[in-house]
Structures are given as structure tokens and as C-alpha cells.
Chains A and B, each alone.
Chain A
């Protein structure tokens, strides 16, 4: 695999070489394989190789009826499964013109925001771990744990929730849900402050993230990035604000944006998003109406046609496109996952940086490999 560079004719001969990062590597968060061409420590080229856990979910969707597909979406972005559930469910509901009870919409918003909190808390930990700060990893997980515990009492699973269903949510809230949510809000307010104190100001962290992996706004748009990656580049775009779905138009919250599009901005945007999620949760707890949590769904047969809907998951813009022939099974189902597009900009923004920066950049993109491979 050794390639001789053009400069090798010179007296000072340096040799470029290829190195494999992954599929088993501590910082690729799963089974992503990056093949890198290096000159010493400097990365000249990054070639991501995907598909190590490709399960062909889109084909699997063609075999099953609509309600049976929700649980597949759990297994895509498993760190924000509530939102991937919802993204799928939303497009099916739209196609049938199904009206979801208001209480269900509020429950969905709450679990989505809780899931965003847990996902970002875990991302924070993993990112700090990538940069070598091991303790922060445990702090992130500690906070995530209480959210996951809440989900367990709510829907019975800690990761693959299968909670948001076509027509509503599978189970109504438990009695202790609201007090526990308020408790989580308080915990996260404290926790985010702690994260900021521990990491944000730290000179080493700033040096490792500021100015690293700069993704310009035009590039971010052209690559189809979404979520914190897009907002970190200074594009003020959040589907919850710009194309409010569900009841998001009833909440007050800000859309944090970065300036430079570097790793630090993406980090900052995510931390700020956690604060905003807490705000949304606190409003939702006050506003939540009573009533049923599930619409009366008879047969799920979306009329013939093609449908597309997007939703803001913790990782960005998730779209679901499907073609219906009018039957009980989709003719074609496409999941446009946020991580896939977010990762596609990695070769561009990591070339020219050091090996350690690739780890930092990859971490700041917050990719979940099953979401990429599907």
C-alpha cells in the first residue's frame, strides 16, 4: 500500500502511507472504516468506507406492513430512536391524513426532547473521550442514564423504544412521568453548566476544537448536512422552527447557531440545544392536555402516491420517502438519514489536518453508524 510521493526524488525523502482507521477502532464509534493517506501526522486524504452493518432496511420495509416497520426505525439511529420512530410515523400519518390526538403530539414532543437530551449528553461524553478526557465520558453517561431509565418505565425499553406509533403513542404516560421530567430538567440545567465548566473553557479543549474542521455554510448546505452540523456552520435552520411539525409552533425556544463552522461551534450548538430542549420540556409539561394518546386507527393503507416528510432528529434532518401503491405494504421506502449526509463532508473538512484532528472532527459530526448504513 506504500505510495511514493512526487517529492521522493528530492534529497529529503518523505514517504506517504495509508493507514486504516477502523472498522474496529476506539474513535470510530462502531464500525466505520476510514482509510487515510498520511504524510507523517498530516492527513492528506480520508476515504470513508461504509456498510459494515448495512442491513438493507429499505428492502426489509418492502416485506412488512406499515405498523410492523416502526421497530425497524429503532435500529437506525439508536441514540435518538424516539425521533426516528416519529420520522417514519409522521410520513405515514401525513399520507393518510390521520389526525393524531393532541395529547399524543405533546407526548411525542416530550419524548423527542428527552431523547435529544440523552443523545446529546452521550455525544458530549463520547466526544470528550475522543479528545482524551475520560471522566467527562462518565458524566455524560450519568445524565443520560436517568433519561433512559425514564424511557424504560414509559415504554419498556432503554434503547429501542418502539413507542411512537402510527396514530399516536403506544402507551399513555405513567403517573410519575411529569415529576420525573421536571427532575430531569433540573438535573440537565446543572449538568450542562458542569459540562461547560469542565470542558468549554479548557484551553486544551479549545485548542483541539477551535478552527479545526471548518465547514463553511455553503459547503454544509451543498453536502446536505443537517442538525448541529448545519447550525454550527452558521445556518439558522431548524425544522422545528422553520417548518414546525406537530405542536412545535406552540413552544418558545431559540435556535443556537455557530459562527465559524468548526468543531467548537458544533460542540457549542449541541450544548445550547440541550438548554433549549429543557425549555421546551418545561413548557410542554405545563401545556399537556388530557385525552387519548392514540387515535382510532383502522386499516393503515396510505393512498397511492409518493410522500416525503422530514423531522429534526438529534443528529439533523431525517427524511422518510415512500411510494405507496395503495396496499398495506410500501412499494419503496427510503430513509434519508442525517448521519449519512453529515458524514459525507468528512473527506472535505478533514484533509490537511493532523491525525488527531480527524478524530476530533469525526466526533464533532456526531455520527451513528447504523444510521449511516441502515
Chain B
């Protein structure tokens, strides 16, 4: 009896291994799912949240920021900072620097939701690694300082 159980256990065990091997060999001949990242790039979803961007209006070449500071207030991490000054007429305020600290940003999109003027958006940039921490502090209204 014991011998019978012994043989049965070996047989069922062996059978179970064969079933597993059947699954893997099926996968061996099935199509691979690799996406070869630097070569094949995917189209980012429309809602993809990359880093914060201050787009310029293609026609006027100006940004839409009205310095309402809603985005700065909405940011949980103090990632945004707006430096402003009085304009030439001494009354209107002018955006000097829209400072964005990518290093502390969690890409939560609260600032974009807070903006009533569609002045900022999350762009589709996902390759945000840099060699230096300094490069993570961006000044969004000066295109020259943007990485790449």
C-alpha cells in the first residue's frame, strides 16, 4: 500500500511538472511582448502627466499666466515659485521667473487643475532624469533653460 502511494505520488508529481512545462513551451512559441524602448516609442496618452509646462501661445508668442498664484497655493510640495515685478507702467505685474522645482514635484496635477486660465499644463515629457540636481530646477518662462 505504501509502495502504491509512493509510486502514485511520483507519477502525479511528474505529471504536474509536465503540465507546467507545457505552459512554458507554449509561451516559448508565442509572440513576445517586448517594446524596445529607445527604438520603439509609444504615443503618450493624452492625459499623461509629464512635467509642468508653461506653453506659449503660437500666435502671440506669450504665455497666459496672470500671476494669480493659484498654482503656487495648490502645490503640496512648494515646487512652484513665481517671481514677479512691477511692469514698466508701474501698475501691472510682470512675470519674471516661473520657477519649477522638478526635484520635489510629485506630478500630481493639482496646479494644472487650479489654473483658471489654462496657462500651465502637464506635458508628455517622461525622460526627466538628469545628471545634476541643479538641472531639475527649471525656469519655465525662459525656453533657453529648458532641458533638451
Contacts and interface: CB of A to CB of B under 8 A. Distances in A.
Nearest to B108: A71
Interface stretch (B44-52, B64-72, B96-104, B137-145): B44-52
Contacts of B113: 170
Contacts of B19: 197, 201-202
Given A64-B76, A68-B76, A154 B47 contact: yes
A64 B107 CA distance: 16
A135 interface: yes
B12 interface: yes
Interface in B33-71: 33, 45-49
Contacts of B45: 152-153, 156
Contacts of B49: 155-157
Contacts of B109: 156, 162, 170
A198 B47 contact: no
B23 interface: yes
A142 B110 contact: no
Interface residues of B, number: 26
Interface centre among A74, A156, A160, A201 (most CB of B within 10 A): A156
Contacts of A257: none
B116 interface: no
B1 to A, nearest CB: 21
Interface in A347-374: none
Nearest to B9: A203
Nearest to A69: B76
Nearest to A197: B23
A135 B74 CA distance: 45
A194 B23 contact: yes
A170 to B, nearest CB: 7
B19, B24, B108: residue with the most chain A Cβ atoms closer than 10 Å: B108
A198 B20 contact: yes
Interface in A193-208: 194, 197-199, 201-204, 206
Given A71-B76, A145-B33, A203-B17, A155 B47 contact: yes
Contact of B13 (A75, A174, A203): A203
B122 interface: yes
Interface in A75-133: 75
Nearest to A157: B49
A199 B22 CA distance: 12
A203 B16 contact: yes
B20 A202 contact: yes
A244 interface: no
Contacts of B89: none
Contacts of A69: 76
Interface string B110-145: 100100000000100000000000000000000000
Closest 9 CB pairs of A and B: A203-B13, A68-B76, A156-B49, A71-B108, A153-B45, A156-B47, A198-B23, A201-B16, A203-B16
Given A67-B110, A156-B45, 15 more contacts: A71-B108, A75-B106, A145-B33, A153-B47, A155-B47, A155-B49, A156-B48, A156-B109, A160-B107, A162-B108, A194-B23, A198-B23, A203-B13, A203-B17, A206-B16
7 contacts: A71-B106, A71-B108, A135-B24, A156-B49, A160-B108, A198-B20, A202-B17
Interface of B: 12-14, 16-17, 19-20, 22-24, 27, 33, 45-49, 74, 76, 106-110, 113, 122
Interface of A: 64, 67-72, 74-75, 135, 139, 142, 145, 152-157, 160, 162, 170-171, 174, 194, 197-199, 201-204, 206
